[in-house]
């Protein structure tokens, strides 16, 4: 597993510090407000688990699973909901928790979909942002790291369901997928 990673981009310690920082920002911004974190499965599950413990104010969580049609490496922007939220978000403050924003097409669809359900607000927290690749015009209020335009794995991020359990985030050897 570790031998398929050519470069460690963010260590376990760096990730922990960054998640703490984002948690503090969210705690400050939503103090006294009812907040719902919506996690996009599966990639963001570890980020969410750590982030929720770094938030020092009242928070609820829910999960969505979406699949974007396209190849493993490129999403098409056409999104299918595999698992929807359990509860209504009407009148609630929502933060979508994502692992990585690549083209941004998945999040663009999600924001539009959630905004149609009459929430008080919808913001985005993403651990990683691939800046060069962003096609959709969306802003994320909370950002962990900018990430080079490489295929990365670990800390929840997968290639073909593998490598999610790596405690760090690293570049996957192209030999694995070529």
Residue located via tokens 């690293």: 170
Give the active site residues: 102
Q: Are strands 35-41 and 59-70 parallel, antiparallel or unpaired?
A: parallel
Which of 19, 35, 94, 152 forms a contact with ligand IMP (CB under 6 A)?
152
Nearer to ligand IMP, 40 or 59 (CB): 40
User: Which part of the chain contacts ligand IMP (CB under 6 A), choosing from 8-16, 18-26, 86-94, 150-158?
Assistant: 150-158
Regarding 102 and contact with ligand IMP (CB under 6 A), the answer is yes
Q: Is the peptide bond before 98 cis (omega within 30 degrees of 0)?
A: no
Regarding 103 and contact with ligand IMP (CB under 6 A), the answer is yes
Among 87, 81, 86, 140, CA closest to 113: 81
- Angle (CA) 174-70-169 rounded to 5° is 40
Nearer to ligand IMP, 36 or 153 (CB): 153
Regarding 171 and contact with ligand IMP (CB under 6 A), the answer is no
Regarding 98 and contact with ligand IMP (CB under 6 A), the answer is yes
- Angle (CA) 152-131-11 rounded to 5° is 40
Q: Which residues bind ligand IMP (CB under 6 A)?
A: 43, 68, 75, 98-106, 151-153, 157
């Amino acid at each position: 597993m570790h031998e398929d990673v050519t470069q460690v981009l963010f260590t376990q310690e760096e990730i922990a510090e960054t998640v703490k920082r984002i948690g503090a920002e969210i705690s400050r911004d939503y103090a006294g407000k009812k907040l719902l974190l919506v996690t996009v499965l599966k990639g963001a599950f570890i980020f969410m688990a750590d982030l929720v413990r770094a938030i020092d104010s009242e928070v609820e969580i829910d999960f969505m699973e979406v699949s974007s049609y396209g190849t493993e490496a490129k999403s098409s922007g056409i999104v299918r909901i595999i698992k929807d939220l359990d509860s209504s978000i009407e009148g609630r403050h929502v933060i979508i928790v994502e692992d990585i924003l690549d083209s941004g097409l998945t999040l663009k669809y999600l924001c539009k979909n959630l905004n149609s359900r009459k929430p008080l607000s919808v913001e985005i927290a993403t651990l990683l942002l691939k800046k060069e690749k962003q096609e959709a015009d969306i802003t994320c209020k909370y950002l962990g790291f900018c990430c080079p335009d490489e295929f990365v794995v670990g800390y929840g991020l997968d290639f073909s369901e593998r490598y999610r359990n790596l405690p760090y985030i690293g570049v996957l050897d192209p030999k694995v997928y070529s």
